[in-house]
Amino acid sequence: TAKDIKVHIPELKWKYAQKTFPYFNGHGTAETVAHGAQIMMAFELHSAKVNGDLVPRLALARSQVVIEKLVLSFKESSFSWLYNTMGYLFQESVRDYVVSSLDSALKANIASLLTPLNRYLHPYWPVVLSNVAI
């Protein structure tokens, strides 16, 4: 678990264009700060068949992403006042969307962590397996 993470993005560039009537569009920057973030990952040991042999593998058992507070401050747009008001009114929904997206990205990309980790652990599996049952 990584706790009490603070992420500050001073100049997040954004833009949008609505492709149907009334054809709204906009662009600008936003300062973004996430406070009290946590990333929890729990791994499990299981056996997998590789080239016909059963070999131990670490896998992601569960993960959780938490952000206590997410602050967005829009700038460099003639409608910054509107975006800031809407951002304030919907800050919990925006935070929940960011948390959900981060958790999905973590799960989708976990192989880039586990593949080299399982390769590195290969010579140590006999010691590990003598202490646990799978």
Q: pLDDT, tens digit, for every residue of 84-132? A: 999 999 999 999 999 999 999 999 999 999 999 999 998 988 888 888 7
Predicted confidence at residue 133, as pLDDT, reads: 65
Predicted confidence at residue 134, as pLDDT, reads: 60
Measured CA to CA, the distance from residue 62 to residue 134 in angstroms comes to 18
Report the chain's terminal Cα–Cα distance, integer Å: 24
pTM attached to this predicted model:
0.81
Predicted confidence at residue 19, as pLDDT, reads: 94
* Cis omega (within 30 of 0) for bond into 126: no
Beta-strand ranges (E) seen in the chain are: 2-17, 25-50, 53-75
Q: Which residues make beta-bridge pairs with 62? A: 42
The rounded percent of the chain whose pLDDT value lies above 70 is: 99
